[in-house]
Amino acid sequence: MIKISPSILSSDYSILGAELKRMEDCGADMLHIDVMDGHFVPNITLGAPIVKCIRKSSSLPFDVHLMISDPYKYIPDFAKAGSDIITFHYEADSDIDETIDLIHSLGKKAGLSIKPKTPAEVVFPYLDKLEMVLVMTVEPGFGGQSFMADMMPKVSAVRAEAEKRGLDTDIQVDGGISGSTIGIAAKAGANVFVSGNAIFSSDDAAATISEFKAIAGE
């Protein structure tokens, strides 16, 4: 199933509640919330209190991407704040099995993300426990970067392994997703697409989301 997850990193934070409502009205399937700590990645965004505040602005699933050094410590806060899917990084400091188990114990879906330099095979030992795998198609930390097409073999490798095990795992891509790149990622095996600038800066976000779904579904 094709899902579009607009990244609020590209939204107008001064009217964030309205921006989330706009994305919901325009046909988004979930909302991608980037959490950066200034340590794991060289940028700082927002924390659990903000997630809690904006939760009332949308009924869409909150797709929360923790780009932080110690996700295990903060996952309970983000779960309580209203996250639905919590994705953390393989490269972070927390024990992966324990972190996945913690997410599930709080009634949330678990995702594991890998940076561009990390091989796809590192997620295989955890694949049976994950609802989603996020393959970064840019270096994490800032929006507006160019899509890295050389990440597509990693997407294909994760999809092939999931299918071999009979798993219907969501495979998400994040970074540089636009009308010219979403088809490439979909053909590689991705089905969940994070897009920031291409959607939020569009004159017609509804048409853009609809176009993305059509291209990815071809």
Does residue 34 have an active-site annotation? yes
The per-residue b/e assignment along 106-133, b for 16 or more CB within 10 angstroms, e otherwise, is: eebbbbbbbbeebebeebeebbeebbbb
Question: Residue 142: phi, psi to the nearest 5?
Answer: -145, 150
Nearest Cα to 114, choosing from 79, 52, 158? 158
CA distance 106 to 44: 25
CA distance 176 to 137: 7
Which of the following is catalytic: 29, 63, 170, 174?
A: 174
CA distance 179 to 209: 9
Does residue 95 have an active-site annotation? no
For the chain, the residue count is 218
| Residue 4 and residue 215 in contact, taking contact as beta carbons nearer than 8 Å | no
Which segments within 121-163 are labelled E, that is strand?
132-136
Which of the following is catalytic: 12, 29, 34, 37?
A: 34
Which positions are catalytic? 34, 174
